[in-house]
Amino acid sequence: MAEITTADIKALRDETGLSIGEVRKALNEAGGDKSKALEVLKNKSVEAAAKKADRTLGSGSVTSYIHGGGLSGTLIELSCETDFVAKNEEFKNLARDIAMHVAAMNPATVEELLDQAFIKSPDKTVKEMINGAVQKFGERTEIRRFARFSVSE
C-alpha cells in the first residue's frame, strides 16, 4: 500500500470538494490509488443519494443561463431540502452549470438530462454530478424541471 500524503488528500479534496475525512477514507480504501479512490467516492455518492431519496424537498434555486448573445437560454429548478444549502455558492454554481448543459445539449426530459455526459466533466453523467452534490451537502438534491428557449427553434 502506497503512503498517503497530505498532498494526495489535498489534491483529491480540491477535485471533489468533499471533506478531508471522506477523502482520506477513500484513499485508504483504495490503497492510495487516486483513480480507485474516485471510484470509491462515486459509489459512496450513489449510496448517499439512495439513503436520502425519501426526504422532502422544501427549497432550491431557479437558475437561468443565456447563451450565444441571447439566442438561446434555459431555466432550471434544482431542488434541495433547506435554504441553507440552496444559498450555498457551490449549489448555485451547480445549478448554473446544469442550466448551461441544458442550453448546449438540449435534452427533452429530466431523465434524458440525467443520463447525459456532463459537458464540463465528460467522464461523469449529470446524475453523477447530482449524486456528488448529495454527498457533499448531505441533502437530497434533484432537478425538478427545466425549460430551454431558442430563437432558431
List the domain boundaries for the chain.
Answer: 6-51, 59-150
Mean per-residue pLDDT for 127-153?
Answer: 89
Identify which has the larger pLDDT, 13 or 117. 117
Whether 59-150 and 6-51 are alike in CATH topology: the answer is no
Q: What cell numbers appear for 79 in the block?
A: 431542488
143-91-116-40 Cα dihedral, nearest 10 degrees: -110
In the predicted structure, residue 85 carries a pLDDT above the cut 90: yes
Q: Where do the H-state alpha helices sit in 17-88?
A: 20-29, 34-51, 83-86
d(CA 146, CA 4): 42
Contact present, 130 and 67 (Cβ < 8 Å): no
In the predicted structure, residue 48 carries a pLDDT above the cut 60: yes
* Average per-residue pLDDT for the chain: 87
Q: Around 96, how many Cα atoms within 13 Å sit in the side-chain half-sphere? A: 8
Architecture of domain 59-150: 2-Layer Sandwich (3.30)
Mean per-residue pLDDT for 53-73?
Answer: 87
Contact present, 44 and 18 (Cβ < 8 Å): no
pLDDT band at 30 (very low <50, low <70, confident <90, very high): confident
Which of 56, 138, 60 lies closest to 92 in space, CA to CA?
60
Mean per-residue pLDDT for 79-89?
Answer: 93
pLDDT band at 96 (very low <50, low <70, confident <90, very high): very high
pLDDT band at 1 (very low <50, low <70, confident <90, very high): low
Strands (E), the chain: 59-67, 72-80, 117-118, 121-125, 142-150
3-state secondary structure of 75: strand
% pLDDT > 70, the chain = 93
3-state secondary structure of 108: coil
Q: What is the fold, at CATH topology level, of the domain defined by 6-51?
A: Helicase, Ruva Protein; domain 3 (1.10.8)
pLDDT band at 75 (very low <50, low <70, confident <90, very high): very high
Write phi, then psi, for 140 (nearest 5 degrees): -60, 135
User: What pTM was computed for the model?
Assistant: 0.72
Identify which has the larger pLDDT, 146 or 33. 146
By DSSP bridging, strand 121-125 and strand 117-118 are antiparallel
- pLDDT tens readout for residues 99-110: 999 999 999 999
